[in-house]
Structure 1
Amino acid sequence: MEQLLATDALSDSTKIVLGAGVIGLIFGYCAQQSRFCLRAACLEFWGGRLGPKVAVWLIVFGTALLAVQHLIATGRLNPLDVRQLAMAGSLSGAIVGGLMFGVGMVLARGCASRLLVLSATGNVRALVAGLVVTVAAQASLSGILSPVREAVNRLWVVGPNARNLALHLPDGTGLALGLACVALAAFLAWRNKVGLWTAATAVGVGLTIALGWAFTAALSHVSFEPVTVSSVTFTGPSADTLMALIVRPEMVMNFGIGLVPGVFAGSLIATLAHREFRVQTFDAESGTIRYLVGAVLMGFGGMAAGGCAVGAGVTGGSVLSLTAWVALLCMWIGGGLAGIVLERPAAGAPPQGWTTGILATFRRS
C-alpha cells in the first residue's frame, strides 16, 4: 500500500480525501445493507434477546477487532501512532458522555453513523437529527457547551500507559478477543438465520475500520505533510464537514472531509440499487422533540466520550483503548435505560429480564 500511496501524481491531501471517500463509500453501502445499528442491537439485548441485530453488531465489532489487532501484530499499525493510545484520555468523559450518547441514540432512533446512513434513504427525520448532532458537537468542541465538556473531561484523566489495555494484558489477547467475538457472532447469526448477504456486508463494515487504520498509517509513512493516523468516526468529522461548508472559504483536507460524503454516497447507492428509497418525515407519532433532544445529547456525549458509537465504540475499541471500551459499555447501559423507560411502555410490552432471553437462546441451541 505504501508504494501505491508514494506516487507523485496526486497531492497528499487529495490522497487522504479520496482514500477516505472510498472507505466511506464501502462503509455506507455495507452499513445500509446489513442494517448495522448499535441502538437496534442495544434495545434487542436489553429486551431479553440475542437476536439478529445483536449478531450483526457483533460481526462488525469482532471483524474490526480481529483485523486491527492483526495489523498491530504484523507491524502495519504502530500503537504509538494512534492518538487514542499515545495521549491522555478522560474516563469521566467516557462515562458521562457514553451514558448521554446511549440515551440520545434511543431518543433519536439511531446513533450518529446510522443517522447519516438513513439520511441517504430519504429519511428526513434522520437528516434533521444528524444536522443537530453536528451543531451540538461543534458547540461542545469549541462553542457555548465547551466549558461544560472540558469540566466533565477534567474530572478523571488517565495517561497513555493506563489507556492502552494491551500493555496490561498478555500478548495476543486482542487477537483472542477478536476471534471470540467473531465465533459468538457466527453462532448468533446462524441461530437467528441471518442471511449470508447481511452477514457479508456486516463483515464489510468491520473491515472498513481496519482499512481506515491501515490507509492512514501507510500514508503517514510516505507523506511529506503530517497525517493523523485514524479511522472511521462520525461526530467530529460530521461537525468539521458542516462547518467547512458554511463558515470557511476553504476546506481543510483531512480524512473526515472525505469520509462523511463517502458514507452518504455509499448508502444512497445501496438504497437506489435495491429500490429502498422512501421519504419519511416527522409526524405526530414520531415526535420531533425526542429527535432533537436525542441529537443534542449525542453531539455533546460523543465529543465528551471521544467519539460516537462507531468512532469510540468500534474504531477505538479495536485498538484496545480503555476509554473507548468504557464509553462503549456506557453507551450500552445508557441505551438500555432509555429503552426501558421510553420504548417498552410505548410498545405496551411487559418487562422482561435480559438474562431470561440469553438463557433461552442457548437452551434452544
Structure 2
Amino acid sequence: MIYENFASAQSFFLWSTFVIALIMGAVVNKTNFCTMGAVSDWVNMGDTGRLRAWVLAIAVGVLGVMALEAAGLVNVTNTFPPYRQTSLPWLEYVLGGVLFGIGMTLASGCGNKMLIRIGGGNLKSIMVVLVIGLIAYYMINPFPGSDKTLYSVLFYSWTNPTAVALSTNQDLGAMLFSDNVATGRMVMGGVIGVLLLAWVFKSADFRTSFDNILGGLVVGLVVLAAWYVTSNITVNAGGDVLSLQSYVQDWDFYSPAGAVRPADAAPLAAQSFTFINPMGQSLGYAASGFDRTLLTFGIMALAGVIAGSLLWSLVSRSFRIEWFASGRDFVNHLIGAILMGFGGVLAMGCTIGQGVTGFSTLALGSILTFIAIVVGSAVTMKVQYFLMMREG
C-alpha cells in the first residue's frame, strides 16, 4: 500500500484502524467474549468455554503472525510497543500482570470489556476508563511543571534494575534458535499455535459453541489485520518508499511546506490492538482540544471498539443504561481502575495487548504477563469467594 503523500497514508492508517476495531467491538459484544469472564467461568464453575475462546484468539494470532512473518508481510519486531525488545523487565511484566488481573476482577472486566460496556450503555465503565486513562497518562507523561512521572516516582528505582539484557530479541524463536532466527520463529510459532488449537478444540462443548468460536476467531483475525495494515502502509517520497514512522523521522527532508507533522513518530510503527496506554493517549488528545497531531492508532482503536459495540447494542436492542449498584460497587470499580492503569502500563499491555497481540509475537514478556494476569485474577476471585462465605 504505497501512497503518494503522507496525509493520504496517515488517513488510511487511522481509518482502517477504526473499521477493524469496529468489527472487533460488534463481535465481542455479540459473542460476550470476555477475558475476565473467561477466568471467572473457569475458577468458579469449571467452565472453560470462554477461556478456550481467548486461547483460540491467541492461537490464531500466533499461527497468523508465523505465516505472515515468514512471507515477509508483517513486521512484528520493530513495533509500538516493542514486544520483542532485547531488554526483559520481567518484574514489571509479572507485577503489572498481577495488578492488572486483580484490577480487572474488581472492576468486572478488562480494558477492552470496559469499552464494550460503554457502547452498551454502561456508565460505570466511563468512570473506569477515565481513571485508567489518567493513571496511564501520568505513568508515561510528566506531571505539569515537572520531569517526574508516576512510573519514575513509584517504580523505576526498584523494578528497572531487575531487567535482564538479552543478546537476542526476547521472542522464543530468537532466544532458542539464535543461529537461525527465521526458522526458529516458524518452528516455535507452528508448534505452540498447533498445541493451543489442539487444547481449544479438545472440548466437545466448545466445538458446538458458535459464539465462543466466532469470538475467538474474530479477535485473533482483527489482531492480524492490524499487524498487516500497519506493517504495509508506505509513502512514496520522491522515489524513496518509506514507512510512516521513517517519513516522520525525516520530516524536514521529505515533507512539503505547510504539512502537519504528527507529534510523535513512535505511534506510527507497526502495531496491533492494546487498550491501556491508548486510554492515556485519548485523555491527552481530549485535554489538548483534540489536536490532530496527537491522533494515534490507539485512539482510533478505542473509538472503533466503542462504536462497534454501540452498533450491535442498537441492532440487538440490548442497549441499556447502567450505574453503580451501591457505594461498595463504586469503590471496587475505582480501585480496579487504578490497578489496571498501573498494571497495564507496567506490563506494557492488557489481556488483549499482551494476552493476544503481544503473545502473537511469542515475546517472553507477553507470555509472562498473560500468566500473571490469569493468576492475579484467579486468586482475587478465590479471595472474594472466601470473604463472601464468611459474610454469609
- Distance across 2 between alignment mates of 1:349 and 1:230: 46
Mapping of 1:26-41 within 5 angstroms?
A: 26-41=23-38
Is the alpha carbon distance of 1:66 and 1:341 closer, same or farther for their aligned partners in structure 2, counting shifts above 3 Å?
Answer: same
* Contact map agreement 2:206 2:213 (CA 8 A) in 1: no
- Return the letter of the residue paired with 1:318: S
Residue 324 of structure 2: SS of its match in structure 1?
Answer: coil
CA shift, 1:35, in A, is 1.4
Is residue 2:105 matched to residue 1:106?
Answer: yes
- Distance across 1 between alignment mates of 2:289 and 2:363: 33
* Contact map agreement 1:34 1:202 (CA 8 A) in 2: no
Is the alpha carbon distance of 1:87 and 1:18 closer, same or farther for their aligned partners in structure 2, counting shifts above 3 Å?
Answer: farther
Is residue 2:150 matched to residue 1:155?
Answer: no
- Distance across 2 between alignment mates of 1:235 and 1:153: 20
Q: Which residue of 1 aligns with 2:369?
A: 327
- Return the letter of the residue paired with 2:358: G
* Contact map agreement 1:162 1:322 (CA 8 A) in 2: no
Mapping of 1:272-311 within 5 angstroms?
A: 272-284=314-326, 287-311=329-353
TM-score (norm 2): 0.81
- State the 4+ residue runs in structure 1 displaced beyond 4 angstroms: 7-10, 347-350
CA shift, 1:109, in A, is 0.3
CA RMSD, 1 decimal: 2.4
CA shift, 1:269, in A, is 0.9
* Contact map agreement 1:21 1:261 (CA 8 A) in 2: yes
Q: Which residue of 2 aligns with 1:340?
A: 382
* Contact map agreement 2:137 2:283 (CA 8 A) in 1: no
- Return the letter of the residue paired with 1:289: V
Is residue 2:184 matched to residue 1:175?
Answer: no
Is the alpha carbon distance of 1:21 and 1:343 closer, same or farther for their aligned partners in structure 2, counting shifts above 3 Å?
Answer: farther
309-318 vs 78-87, greater mean Cα deviation: 78-87
Residue 80 of structure 1: SS of its match in structure 2?
Answer: coil
Mapping of 1:255-266 within 5 angstroms?
A: 255-266=297-308
Determine which of 232, 252, 256 is the counterpart of 1:218.
232
* Contact map agreement 1:33 1:198 (CA 8 A) in 2: no
Mapping of 1:42-191 within 5 angstroms?
A: 42-47=39-44, 49-82=46-79, 83-142=82-141, 143=143, 145-146=150-151, 147-159=153-165, 161=168, 163-169=170-176, 171=184, 172-188=187-203, 190-191=204-205
1:192-249: CA deviations, max 9, x gaps? 4653244223311111111111111111555433531111000011110121012355
Is the alpha carbon distance of 1:113 and 1:179 closer, same or farther for their aligned partners in structure 2, counting shifts above 3 Å?
Answer: same
In the alignment, structure 1 segments of 5+ residues that lack a partner are: 351-365
- Distance across 1 between alignment mates of 2:158 and 2:38: 28
In the alignment, structure 2 segments of 5+ residues that lack a partner are: 144-148, 178-183, 235-241, 249-264
Percent identical pairs in the alignment equals: 25
Q: Which residue of 1 aligns with 2:216?
A: 202
- Distance across 1 between alignment mates of 2:21 and 2:297: 10
- Return the letter of the residue paired with 1:191: D
Is the alpha carbon distance of 1:341 and 1:158 closer, same or farther for their aligned partners in structure 2, counting shifts above 3 Å?
Answer: same
1:317-354: CA deviations, max 9, x gaps? 1101111111111101100110101145437899xxxx
Q: Which residue of 2 aligns with 1:234?
A: 275
- Aligned residue pairs total 346
- Distance across 1 between alignment mates of 2:158 and 2:277: 18
Structure having the higher Rg: 2
1:242-268: CA deviations, max 9, x gaps? 210123551323211211101110111
* Contact map agreement 2:53 2:215 (CA 8 A) in 1: no
Is the alpha carbon distance of 1:110 and 1:197 closer, same or farther for their aligned partners in structure 2, counting shifts above 3 Å?
Answer: closer
Is the alpha carbon distance of 1:347 and 1:271 closer, same or farther for their aligned partners in structure 2, counting shifts above 3 Å?
Answer: farther
Is residue 2:34 matched to residue 1:18?
Answer: no
